[in-house]
Structure 1
Amino acid sequence: MIKYFFGLLLATSFLFNDKLYCQSNDSLNTYSLDNIVVTATKFEIDARYSPNRIEIITSNQINNSNGNRLADILNNSPAVYIKSYGSTASLKTISLNGLGAEHTLILINGVKINSFQNGQIDLSLIPKENIERIEIANNGISSIYGSEAVGGVVNIITKNSNHNLFDNTINVTGNAGYGSFNTSRFGVSLSSRTDEFNFGVYYSNEKSDGNFDYYFNNGLERILKKRENAAYNLQDAGINSQLIFNSKNRLIFYSAYSFQNKQVPGIETGTPPSKTEQKDKNWNNIISLENYFTERLILKTNFNFQNNLMNYEIKPVIQSYYKNLVTSISPELNIKLSDYDILTGYSFTYADLKSNEVENKSRRYQHALFISGSNYVINDLKLFASFRVDHFSDLKKNAFTSRLGFNFKPLEKIALNLRANVGNNFRAPTFNDLYWKESGNPNLKPERSFNFETGFLGLFELLIPIQFDFSFTYINAKDKIIWLPQRNFLWSPVNVGSSETKNFLLNLSYNQKISEQLELRFNSGINFINSKKTNESFQGDPTKDKYFPYLPLQSIKLGVMIDYKNFGIHLFYTHTGKRFSDFENKKSMNQFNILDGNITFDLSMLGTKTSLKFEVNNITNTDYQTISGYPMPLRNYFITLSINY
């Protein structure tokens, strides 16, 4: 099967990446890339002219994907690998460029949501109802965003956050669904738009027994079992609003609340799982003020408040709680000149963690100054530069980062853009690293890395217009924080780790509206990841020069989307290649191939749109794991009925 799909990849030259599709001009018989403005690098920039690869997951792709959480959407990107510990509500983390979740910055409308406690974010906490599009910026951008932006940046753009003029409309949408494992879901949303004000509110509730089928090898035979202690209840609510005072001033408000009450089955050992429960309450608020003094002088100020609470309990042994509070303000001034674009700003963040597992001094005042600029040296050569300094009160250290890049279009009549960027990046130690009771190390310093990326984005006509997007990324990381056993038999973090990553990513795509009633998208991507540990934790360390566990050495993703009139069929294939489950690379995990798909049908009548969606996950009933000991569901389905008025 792998050879077949690899041959299909080369023969068709398509990509799962709908970000910049082609348009034809019959009179000239030429093709050009679409100009799509993105904000993942803080600038509003045409994605064609960025110094780094940027992938856009559009609202159409989001609506046509399977699943209802952020991890389900990102899993279709060829650049992303999702580490999943089970079904919908289980922990799901991201890997970009062969690095960990703590090295990938996650933003909502440009505001950081990574936890100061562990540097990560559980992707299962974010529902897709409120997501308009997603921007994935490749490679490190600490010179703009600071800590965690080492492997890349994922920016989630919420609905009603754009600045277009709206017609006077009111929309109400209700949906209900049912599927495998006694999973039920319902939601409702309301939005209203005028020329001066718009808002949207939503609420959803999902429940499931979580008792999916899977195979367990007890050493003698494979036996079919049901996952125990895996039930969950997810509730999400939120509001987006935008108030346009006049043509020069506007206010945008975003607030989202998520409550998850779930059982945690843990690793499969063949014995009944412990009675483990976890409750997450997350409340995130963002206020953005935008002042357009002139067309060339714009001030944007973001205010953010986060209140995140987690209770983790293994009855009757462990009862842990973690309350993370974050408050930040970041004014940014954008100066737009004819050939120059300058963005400078200041950021202040206060973070505080209260927990029975860490010391009481877990708090941080973080100050940062940055400046970023771009200019056209000549018409087709654009240069980029950015610099940033961060100060951390608890570390009593500064972090200086910088980046240089360019984008060059060498041929006037051919849609081809060359790009490259180079810079240094960092990750600050987390509260867990510094202040974990009896084990934390308050003397840690930030991890640091040297990053380089190069590649091209082009459009060529090979019988049909095909978009090529190739990137090579190199990351050399030093002072990585590694937890090692100490003489007191406790594990403690130290700055001794180093790694080297070489990542090749080839994306090709085709997107064409064949007629008024037929649209076809065929997409594919192949990713080769070489991410190794390069240090010795002790003399003769057998883990030196070994691949990091759970990262596939290669992956292939294909997507086919066909929409005809009111009917749609969408298929998604993933091949996950060889991986290791240990640091010495002695234990390899099975490669696996997953095929998901859905069928949609829309009916419009009397101002009401009714949609029916039938999803099937793991169509081939594959037995697989992404993390050793955490089985994934076999074939399962979900049906959703939506009514929009």
Structure 2
Amino acid sequence: MKYLFILLVLINGSICSSFIQGQIVDIDSKNPIQGANVFVEESSVGSVTDEHGMFFLKSESSKINISHIGYIDIEYNIVNKTNLIILLEPSVINSEELVVTGTRTLKTFKDSPVLTRIISNQEIKDSQSRDLYDVMDEIFPGYQKLKGQHAMSNEIRFNGLGTKSILFMIDGQKINAEYSGNMDLSVVDINSIDKIEYVDGAISTLYGSGAMGGAVNIITKKTKKNSYDLNVNLFSNTPSVNSGHLSYSRNFHNLDGSVSITFNQSDGFDLKELEYNNDNDQIQKHQEEFSNIILNGNIGFSFDNSRLGINHKRYSSSINTYKMDDMGGGPLAELSIVPDFELPRNYDTQTSFKFNSKISSSVSLDYCFTVENYEKKYEYTGYGEHLWSGSYSDSHTLIINKNLANMEFLFGLDVVNDKYKSYNIDGNGDWVDSNENGVIDAGDLGIDEFSIFDDSNSKQTSLRSIFINNEWLVNSVSVTSGLRYQHHDAYDNHFIPMVSLYKKFDKYKFRSTWSQGFRAPNLKELYYQWDHPGGVVMGNSNLQPEESEYFSVSLESFKDFYYSVNIYHNSLKNMINYITSGDSHTYTNFEKVSLKGFNIFYKRKLSGNGELTFSYNYLDAHDHVLNARLNGSNFHNLNTKLTYFLLDNLKTRLSFKYSSPKKYAECVQNCGGDSSDDIFELSAFSLVDFSLRYDLSKSISATLGVNNLFDYKDPNATSEQFLTLVNPGRTIVFGFDYNLRGFNEE
């Protein structure tokens, strides 16, 4: 009996030793990798990981090989044959990753006829950014942000163009939120982002008015089939921002859905010492105290190669400013801090209905209806009233895609309706004290009988478009051509063409694009009239649409390392901007502006689980009428970063950003006196950030870092002008992330 027992143990051990079982996961996210190939070299023994990343194979070998598209192939030495956890490192660029923005159809990254830049979810996490402004600033070298005094005026540029000339989208649907002349990018919850796709240059043929200088498409996270995901995220970068995020998503059989809430808050900061001498002195900071909250929810139902989905988002933001109030009429010591007279509040609500269907093996249909209402409210504490203004937009988009033998054909329809509504206060901003008692109350003030649109409370416009896009092969050259016809109810008909060539060579890929761009003036640029203590902002009903002609050539390589070089020239006619004369700001057309330059992007893996990324942008933005550099633009921007795994669960990151000097003119025309006093140079700057991320387990990670390591602050902080950078100096960053993923039992 004793010998029989020993024999059974030996047989069982022999059987177990011939089997290899384990799980393949991503080294960064610790997510299971489905579809990885696990095999024994020079044999027919192999396996493919399931949706849990698990594999099981029979072999006596002490080595296995693992490969997967988008990851570096490895040879793994086996010590224990069961319960293996094997980490795969993403390759420098996943050439098989699907992109959609450049053609409005799914293409692999390597086969896209339009050069596309991808920012992954992991890059966003590593950047320690809390809003889309910081993500862009961290990753895009052509992105420039000028900050006005006291955080109430921003100017944002992409390769010399403002955000109204760059199309921002969430899952292909335009964002319409606008604040202080720029897109309000804080309405985007970066915790919901799976990746960002960016296409440079005029792409109005595919996307219509607004895509003069490129398109930024934010692709949101999707839950894998029959799985669930719970995420809790806490972040602190005092005094810039503190935030918290909670989300839950689930996909079960034919249903999928998610809910999330994100909260951001800051007490603000100032780069100079505060001084108050008088009653009613406003306490102004370079970044004001603010808070915002974002609620997201979506639900979808899949059936018969189709999906029906509804998404809803609500955003609210408060900016709090303060002033000194002499409660007793006494000396400075008796001044008290009270809420300021005017407090801004912003709200954004967006709902979209989407239907996608694979009608046949070669035909697909996509339809989307989106409604967005972005409102601004000013609370006037002196008399307990508030003042509303806002923009409303609804859009319908239908796209039909047909695959033929050597051609892909796309047909689309767009209908966009915009409405803007606003009011002004008594005398176009001239506050009155009808009681002559030094107190302004609700009885003294009322809505002026004339709004900012004179005798109308609102203005509206509509834009209707038909567009086509074709892709076909001609002697191994991929040719893409497109044409959009659009009718604007104020600017009649326009045709917008484009042509792109794409050729693969052994070691690199060549692309060339010619396209035209178009942007109609928005309602605020046309009709806005606001007189306030800081000056007069005037619309211009005689504005003409912006038009552009864009040309670019690029090279791209996917070999041992990745690089791309893009050379471009964008010539604009009737560019819409404002001119400043004294305290008056008036929208006008700049007759001829040219933007020419190049950008370089380089990325490679380093030995020992490291990665180096380098990007550089050169831009010459020139106003040919004034014969001067375009206001606020600079020549050189450079970003570089190094990431390295010190251990399998300890990752370090070092980033460097440089921006060359900028010229800025407070007064552009009819300045009077010595106009050179109104033109000044914004300083060059460089920033270094450092962080460590430690994975405590598969679900829990913590981050500790230092932003602005060398404590740079704008030297012009005490002057009354735009700043090249609003940064509080060196700050300590802390983050905590809990992510629980699982699969539903069938």
- Between 133-142 and 306-315, the greater mean CA deviation after superposition: 306-315
Which has the larger displacement, 226-235 or 382-391? 226-235
Assess if the C-alpha contact under 8 Å between 1:288 and 1:300 holds in 2.
yes
Is 1:603 equivalent to 2:696 in the alignment? yes
1:545 and 2:640 are equivalent in the alignment: no
| Partner of residue 555, structure 1 | 637
1:339 aligns with 2:406: yes
Deviation at residue 618 of structure 1 after TM alignment: 1.1
State the AA in 1 paired with 2:702. Answer: L
Structure 2 partner of 1:593: 686
1:372 lines up with 2:438 in the alignment: no
Secondary structure of the residue that 2:616 maps to in structure 1?
A: strand
Question: What's 1:427 paired with?
Answer: 519
2:165 is aligned with 1:103: yes
Give the C-alpha shift of residue 111 in structure 1. 0.9
1:450 equivalent to 2:542? Answer: no
- State percent identity of aligned pairs: 20
Would the aligned equivalents of 1:242 and 1:250 in 2 still touch at CA under 8 Å? yes
Residue of structure 1 in register with 2:310 after alignment? 253
Q: How does 1:413-424 map to 2 (within 5 A)?
A: 414-424=506-516
Aligned to 1:40: 101
**Alignment match of 1:239 (pick from 292, 297, 304):** 297
Q: Which stretch shifts more, 48-57 or 360-369?
A: 48-57
1:573 to 653, 656, 661: 656
Using the TM superposition, give the Cα deviation of residue 35 of structure 1 relative to its aligned residue in structure 2, in angstroms: 2.4
2:366/2:399 contact within 8 Å kept? yes
Could you tell me which residue of structure 2 aligns to residue 10 of structure 1? none
Amino acid at match of 1:55: R
**Map of 1:13 onto structure 2:** none
Corresponding residue number in structure 1 for 2:587: 493
The question of whether the paired residues in 2 share the 8 Å contact of 1:327 and 1:350 is answered with yes
Aligned residues: 581
C-alpha distance in structure 2 between counterparts of 1:179 and 1:275, whole Å: 29
- Mapped contact 2:167–2:174 kept (Cα < 8 A): yes
* Kept in 1: contact 2:306–2:356 (CA 8 A): yes
Within-5 A mapping of 1:160-309: 160=222, 166-181=224-239, 184-211=242-269, 213=271, 227=285, 230-246=288-304, 248-263=305-320, 276-309=342-375
Kindly indicate whether the alpha-carbon contact (under 8 Å) linking 2:178 and 2:184 is maintained by their aligned counterparts in 1. Answer: no
Q: Structure 2-normalised TM-score? A: 0.72
Q: Residue 92 of structure 1 contacts residue 124 of structure 1 at CA under 8 Å; is this kept in 2? A: no
Amino acid across the alignment from 2:232: G
Please give the alpha-carbon distance, in whole angstroms, between the structure 2 residues aligned to 1:116 and 1:204: 20
CA distance, structure 2, for counterparts of residue 484 and residue 289 of structure 1: 44
Instruction: Give the conservation status (yes or no) of the 8 Å contact 1:500–1:533.
Output: yes
Residue from 459, 474, 479 that aligns with 2:574: 479
User: 1:445 deviation in Å?
Assistant: 2.4
More off after superposition, 135-144 vs 179-188:
179-188
State the SS of the aligned residue for 1:188. Answer: strand
Return the offset for 1:446: 0.9
| 1:276 to partner: Cα distance | 4.9
User: What do the CA deviations read for 1:152-192 (whole angstroms, capped 9, x no partner)?
Assistant: 1100011128xxxx342333222334442395432211111
C-alpha displacement at 1:575, in angstroms? 0.2
Larger radius of gyration: 2
Match of 1:123 in 2: 185
- Structure 1 window deviating more from structure 2 (414-423 vs 276-285): it is 276-285
Deviation at 1:372, TM superposition (A): 0.7
Output the CA distance in 1 between the equivalents of 2:322 and 2:661: 26
What secondary structure, in the 3-state scheme, does the structure 2 residue paired with 1:594 have? strand
Question: How far 1:251 sits from its partner (Å)?
Answer: 1.5
d(CA) in 1 for partners of 2:209 and 2:264? 34
Does the 8 Å contact 2:262/2:293 carry over to 1? yes
Residue 333 of structure 1, CA deviation? 0.3
Tell me what 2:126 maps to.
64
Note the C-alpha offset of 1:213: 4.8
1:441 is aligned to 2:508: no
Instruction: Name the SS of the counterpart of 1:611 in structure 2.
Output: strand
Q: Which secondary structure state, in structure 2, belongs to the residue aligned with residue 555 of structure 1?
A: strand
Query: Measured at CA, do residues 229 and 639 of structure 1 come closer, stay the same or move farther in structure 2, by a change above 3 Å?
Result: closer
- RMSD after superposition: 3.4
Map of 2:732 onto structure 1: 637
Give the direction of change, closer, same or farther, for the CA distance of 1:403–1:215 in structure 2 (3 Å limit): farther
1:16 is matched with none
Q: Which amino acid aligns with 2:655?
A: F
Q: Please, which of 438, 449, 459 is the counterpart of residue 558 of structure 2? A: 459
Report the CA distance between 1:93 and its aligned residue: 5.7
**Matched residue, 2:449:** none
Distance between the aligned counterparts of 1:187 and 1:572, measured in 2? 25
Unpaired segments ≥5 residues, structure 2: 1-68, 76-91, 276-282, 324-336, 425-451, 531-537, 669-675, 741-746
Q: Secondary structure at the match of 1:362?
A: strand
The alpha carbon displacement at 1:466 in A equals 2.1
- Cα deviation digits, residues 24-44 of structure 1 (max 9, x gap): 799xxxx99722221112122
Q: TM-score by structure 1 length?
A: 0.82
Deviation (angstroms), 1:257: 1.4
Distance verdict in 2 for CA 1:598–1:88, change over 3 Å: farther
SS in 1 for 2:183: coil
| Distance of 1:291 and 1:98 partners within structure 2 | 39
How far apart are the structure 1 equivalents of 2:592 and 2:167? 20
Mapped to 2, the partners of 1:118 and 1:58 lie a distance apart of 29
Query: Would you say the 8 A contact 1:131–1:158 is kept in 2?
Result: yes
